[in-house]
Amino acid sequence: MTQTSTDTLRPIGSLCRDSGVPTRTVAKATAIEGAGIHSGMTCRVRIQPRNAGEGIAFTRAGRNPVPATWQFANAEASDRRTVIIGADGERFEQIEHLMAALYALGISDALVEQEGPEVPFLGGGSREYMDALRQAGVVENGGQFPVLHIEQTASLEDGGALLTATPHDGLFLSAFVEFPGTVVGNMGFTIGINPENFYDQVSQARTFAVARDIEALRARGLARGGNLQNAVVFDETRYHNESLHFPDEVARHKIIDLLGDLALLGCGLNGHFWAWRAGHRSHVLFAQKIARECRLDP
Of the chain, the percentage scoring pLDDT greater than 70 comes to: 96
Strand 161-166 to 268-276 pairing? antiparallel
Mean pLDDT of 111-140: 97
> Contact, 243 vs 122, CB < 8 A?
no
Q: So what's the pLDDT on residue 2?
A: 39
Provide the pLDDT confidence category of residue 298 given band limits of 50, 70 and 90. Answer: low
- Average pLDDT estimate for 222-235: 96
Instruction: Look up the pTM and report it.
Output: 0.95
Q: What is the pLDDT of residues 229-267, one digit of tens each?
A: 999 999 999 999 999 999 999 999 999 999 999 999 999
What does the pLDDT look like over 97-106, one tens digit per residue? Answer: 999 999 999 9
For the segment 35-75, what is each residue's pLDDT rounded down to a tens digit?
Answer: 999 999 999 999 999 999 999 999 998 789 999 999 999 99
pLDDT score of 137 more than 50: yes
Catalytic residues: 280
pLDDT of residue 10: 67
pLDDT higher than 50, residue 5: no
% of the chain exceeding 90 in pLDDT: 91
Burial of 87 by CB count in 10 Å (0-12 exposed, 13-18 middle, 19+ buried)?
A: exposed
pLDDT of residue 225 exceeding 80, the answer is yes
285 and 238 in contact (C-beta within 8 Å)? no
Q: For all residues of the chain together, what is the average pLDDT?
A: 94
pLDDT tens per residue across span 160-186: 999 999 999 999 999 999 999 999 999
pLDDT at 1 over 60: no
